Structures are given as structure tokens and as C-alpha cells.
Amino acid sequence: MASTADRIRKLVADNLEVDGKPLPEPLDFGTGLTELGVSSMDVVAFAKVVAEDFGVTFTPEACATIKTLDELVTCLDSQMG
């Protein structure tokens, strides 16, 4: 079974781009998406996609608190036990 990080990596590749280009590999899980140049609108849409894929719910506060993909993985792992 794919790890949470691997699933996130695939969701990023399938759903996020900046100026029409995919985010570069290897993906830096320690840098915030907005710091890379992803728009706030795309971050919100991505949060919805991740929530649906993992079957979890993010509160707006949680979305705003999670700054990096590393933090997202930790949050998902804690929600899924």
C-alpha cells in the first residue's frame, strides 16, 4: 500500500501546477506550497481533493495551519490513526 507521502506526491502531480507547469521533482515536502508560488485558490482546491482522497475533513483553521506537505502528511497520519 502506498505511503501517505507517496499518495500526496501523486495528488500534487495530478492536481497542482504553477504558471501551467507541474511542480518540480523531487518535491520539497518542507517548503510551503504558497512559498513555491502556488496560489491560495489552488491550495484550497488541493485541500478539498486531499480530503476527498483520504476520506477526512479539514477545518479551514487546519488548512491555514498546515504550511508544508510534511505537516500535511503528519496531520493525515494522525487523523487516520
Partner 1 sequence: MEIDLGQDAAREARAMSWLDDQERRRWRRFLPGGPRRRFALSRAALRAILCERLGCDNERLAFGAAEHGKPFALVDGEPVPVSFNVSHSGAHGLIAYAPAGRLGVDVEERVARSDIDLLSEAVFGPAERAELALTSGYARSHLFFRLWTIKEALMKAHGAGFRLDPSSFETPPAMLRGMNEAIFRLPRLPEVSWRLQDLGNERFAAAIAHEVDGA
Cell of 62: 487546519
Residue type, 29: F
Site for partner 1 in 19-78 (CB under 8 A): 19, 21, 23-24, 31, 35-37, 39-41, 44-45, 47-49, 59-61, 63-65
Residue 24 DSSP symbol: P
| Site of grid cell 503528519 | 74
Closest CB to partner 1 among 3 and 40?
40
Our finding on whether 10 is near partner 1 (CB under 8 A) is no
Helix 69-79 to helix 4-15 angle, to the nearest 10 degrees? 130
Residues in contact with partner 1 by the rule CB under 8 A: 18-19, 21, 23-24, 31, 35-37, 39-41, 44-45, 47-49, 59-61, 63-65
